[in-house]
Structure 1
């Protein structure tokens, strides 16, 4: 077992696993990796269980020094990655020698990168998860320079992988499937058609909680207040401005504005990789089981 000394964090770096499912009735959101497929792939590449705690790095800038040596893999937004100044490839298991520095530059596309280390990041679990919930303040704090991250014990061999199944983040318009409802009846029929036919810009007022979108106004058919209701990742909640907010991993567990539709779980990773300034396009889908 070894550790990582954190030298720099970039805009935001957190510890994430697959979150805390099943606790919404207690007021605790799921949290976990915003792009769950990328986290799973990174862990598989280094021989971890898919849900092992890893680092979610927003727009690069992470730098760590290895103590004891470690095998890592980077997935999600493809950051140029260097070990002691030598560029190495993402989407593959690579070894960081004892005392070496690993640095990530800004990604070529996408927003969030996932750095898995063989053995997983060994921080204390809170309610069964090592994830940082930035809204609720649960789990470890976001990384800061000077932090020391313990690495857990490795189990089993590193898998031999010639080619990893990679889904690179889109650089242009992002298409997301959405199931109408549960409060589509609070909106005009034209509003739903507008949502499904107009592009929406991702604004800079976006984070792990959600993405505020800018585009055509979604008009209501009903006035008045809506009692708070349970929320899920992918919910498109519409405040009185008519501009939707797409909730992501650290979303609130209840909300008081109507939800016109819910992005299917399989597409939430695509949404989580969209940068401010990119456009989202929603298309109708039928109900399916939510993300694992």
Structure 2
């Protein structure tokens, strides 16, 4: 190599290393602390659940709530809230109020609620459901909850689907009458976990909500389940939009955080935001990776899909 080419190439390489060094440092810092943008609330209200940030925030759910608030989260959900001690329910509610955070869903659950099938029309099942609805009102007061998940239970093979649907509507109407007194909204969740479950699709749930005709009976649109059961998430969401009161998130396959599966959550979240929804987006999924690194990666994934440009 000629001397002038050697010097030229050496100078270019050296200059490139000087220019790229700060960029490398920034990238490394971002990888080590992908929550650097934390403290800034997300555009949508993503609500985590107990255990999701246990390695970073601590084993106690209240400590996790405080830690997650510092990362920009402004909501939680807790399926098992009805099973917590009264003191825990109250403490969680007080913590949320102090931080200005929103309580998402808990499950209206008397234990093994999937098998308590409202589709059967049996009085014993309906009475049990109504009793749980009454008890849920006290729980909601303690934790400042406005939404509660309801699953009607198993499909009843001995009855025509229309008769089952009528039984479910009757039970939900009576449950809604109880919940309306306090403004608590039951959100019906169609699921994909088990083919024996009665409630499976968004259009089926829409029809039931319209028949119940109550502000306390709406749809929980869990996008993971709907991707598995019917696909075409955005279009189907729009068809039933007027009855949706709550969303949940989970990528498919795997039911982990966004960016780990096939679903384009950045587009989905932008669509939901542009339609005017500002409610809870429940993080109803697991962590793709274990430990603190996995928790930080999860937060970074939400920062990535939340970085949409509204209205564009």
TM-score, length of structure 2 as denominator length: 0.20
Q: Tell which has more relative contact order, 1 or 2 (C-alpha 8 A, sep 6+).
A: 1
TM-score, length of structure 1 as denominator length: 0.21
The structure whose residues are more often helix, as a share, is 2
Which has the greater radius of gyration? Answer: 2
The structure whose residues are more often strand, as a share, is 1
